[in-house]
Amino acid sequence: MGPLDSVRVIEIASLAPAPFGCMILSDLGAEVLRVDRAGSCGPDAVARADPLSRGRASIGIDLKQADGVALLLRLAESADVLVEGFRPGVAERLGFGPQVCAERNPALVFARMTGWGQDGPLAATAGHDIDYIAVSGALHPIGRAGERPVPPLNLVGDFGGGGMLLALGVLAALVERERSGLGQVVDAAMVDGSALLTSFLYGLRAAGAWQDTRGVNLLDGGAPFYDTYQTADGGHVAVGALEPRFYAELLAGLGLADADLPGQNDRAGWPVLRERFASVFAERSRDEWAEVFADTDGCVAPVLSMAEAPGHAYNTARGVFTDVGGLVQPAPAPRFSRSDTGPPAAPPRPGADTDAVLAGLGLSAAEIKQLRARSVVG
């Protein structure tokens, strides 16, 4: 049983950030019930091959029907958390906003996942990860000198600044509820979360150790000892030898310990260092360099593809990846000394648990059949 055992979560089905946050809660032991659209729960519906959907039960409800909203509110009466990812005001228009839910269950944590947040001049407008991190300032520093910013997939907005922030907010609200006995609204916005992720850079900038110019700084590829290099086989290695003693081991591994090179922190000499490093790394394959730097503090690692990473010796030894329903994917994290989360369950077929959930609310088989006939449930 994970550390969130007995915590009951209702997740209104959505895309990317909120499912990721609910996946984390489920991985940590929470009982997560996903409310799918009734129309997606027909006899031909199949389970999604999606790690973000793992560990759930699923019920199909049409939330555009009053009877469907009434069912959701009955579920909320015994839940600890409700998570929704609509634009601001949509849940209220449908009839299950935070105030309505609080009247049914004052202890309910109502978690809202959006890009722009619940208020502000952009709150009602559409956007995606790249827009949120552009406005938050998180996108601008990412990229090579003299080139345009590079989208870091959708990891910074949707997941790091979105779903992870949502899960943290839910946990904080649950802890506070232990003192007050009351739930509250968690307003998790990707623009807020992605800005929060840049806090360290603001500290460096204030200290004069970071420039707004892209690709010339210590951690953005500007430093030759914190960058990636191509190897003889077309692969790449990642180098992160920041500290002087690690840098010394990097030079030793490259056979450059006695070379007449500029000093590590001589910025004027960085182009010379980069050229020498690139030339030497190009002499051997990626895996040969991994062997050279194995068991050293040279801070050199092979750049693995998503296909390769699950089979890497370190990842297999630690169990970083797992197989869920035949799909290899990242395992739950973090680890706990006593509260073993166990392997996550495979994603459910949409609506697979509808009858069981409704029966748990006290509805008879005839009542469930009637709701299904009116397409209130799927």
Indicate which residues carry an active-site annotation.
128, 158
* Contacts of residue 306, Cβ cutoff 8 Å, sequence gap at least 6: none
Q: How far is CA 66 from CA 96, 358, 375, in A?
A: 10, 16, 12
Strands (E), the chain: 8-12, 31-37, 56-61, 81-84, 109-114, 185-189, 226-230, 236-240, 300-302, 321-324, 327-330
137-140: long-range contacts, CB 8 A cutoff, minimum separation 24: 137/195, 137/198, 138/194, 138/195, 138/197, 138/198, 140/212, 140/214
* Contacts of residue 313, Cβ cutoff 8 Å, sequence gap at least 6: none
- 293 vs 237: CA distance, rounded Å: 11
- 32 vs 81: CA distance, rounded Å: 9
- 111 vs 81: CA distance, rounded Å: 7
Angle at Cα 155 formed by Cα 150 and Cα 159, nearest 5°? 150
Locate tokens 């909120």: which residue?
18
233's tokens: 């086989």
Are 35 and 62 spatial neighbours (Cβ–Cβ below 8 Å)?
no
SS3 content of the chain, % helix, strand, coil (to 5): 40, 15, 45
CA 223 to chain centre: 28
240's tokens: 């992160």
